[in-house]
Amino acid sequence: MAEQGAQTVSEYIVHHLTNLTYGKLPAGYERVDYDGNVHVLEHDQWTFAHGGAEAAAMGFNAIHVDSIGWALFLGSIFAFLFWRVAKKAESGEPSKFVNFIEMVVEFVDNMSRDMFNGKSKLVAPLALTAFVWIFLMNLMDLVPVDWIPSAFAAIGVPYMKIVPTTDPNVTLGMAVAIFILMLWYSFTVKGAGNFLKELTTMPFPVPTKGAGLIAAPFLIVLNFFMEVVGLLAKPFSLGLRLFGNMYAGEMIFILIAALASIAGGWGVWQLFGGALQMGWAIFHILVVVLQAFIFMVLTIVYLNMSFEHH
């Protein structure tokens, strides 16, 4: 819970929504340290940001260390667990955990077979990776909001966001990776000419003879504009949908924790806040699973569209 003696509610919320950011501050930047002292940088300096203002001043090259670190950590757990299960599945009677993992793999594989009509050995493993990895990252939202940040603060790390999917850089990064695969398959499977033809002859048919030829250039430009907008909207919708839902869930957890801290000590507010946290966590389990499932399904659907000839 927030401690009002050290932070206001507003400061508490801002603190929990700030990433641990590493980047380069430009020369001449007036930096305020944690003690409130101000000094001007004589040279460009690579350092950790002391808040959102410094993170913004670092610009595009800034790195959210906590988001990347937790994403890689959870991805490593996913890879290790599935590697161990793959080894155990080769011999002996499978355990309950092995059976559960096999059920997940079979579920995703069946989804891929039903929804993907092309031929690719990458789509099913990619869908499995997206589903499990995003599920693990989403699951971190159920950890009480103060536990891990407080533990890192005790060793001198001022900021620590532990839910990578509440960072648009992570969700849009995954969406862009899917988008690149979409373009790759569109060019390699359909061919550059057929792909360009799809972009310029849909949704409005382009006349190839007669008086309608006058309107053909206009229709080609209009079709290309509409198709490109629709194509670019796919990665944005894929990444922002996941980010928006998880960020909203995290914000509610933080607001409940801030609400319960207002009275200080233990009392009615703390019990009420604890009940709210538990109720929202139970409901949020559905969001955690559903958002991972939606990202996986849309990944399969978008890649399948890249294989289809219109």
Give the residue numbers marked as catalytic.
237, 241, 245
Residues 6+ apart with CB under 8 A from 234: 175, 179, 182, 302
Query: What single-letter amino acid sits at 274?
Result: G
Residues 6+ apart with CB under 8 A from 83: none
Q: Report d(CA 1, CA 4) in Å as an integer.
A: 9
Q: Is 204 helix (H, G, I), strand (E, B) or coil?
A: coil
Q: Is 18 helix (H, G, I), strand (E, B) or coil?
A: coil
Q: Which residue has the tokens 């690719």?
A: 120
Q: Report d(CA 297, CA 308) in Å as an integer.
A: 17
Q: Report d(CA 78, CA 18) in Å as an integer.
A: 26
Residues 6+ apart with CB under 8 A from 47: 22, 23, 24, 25
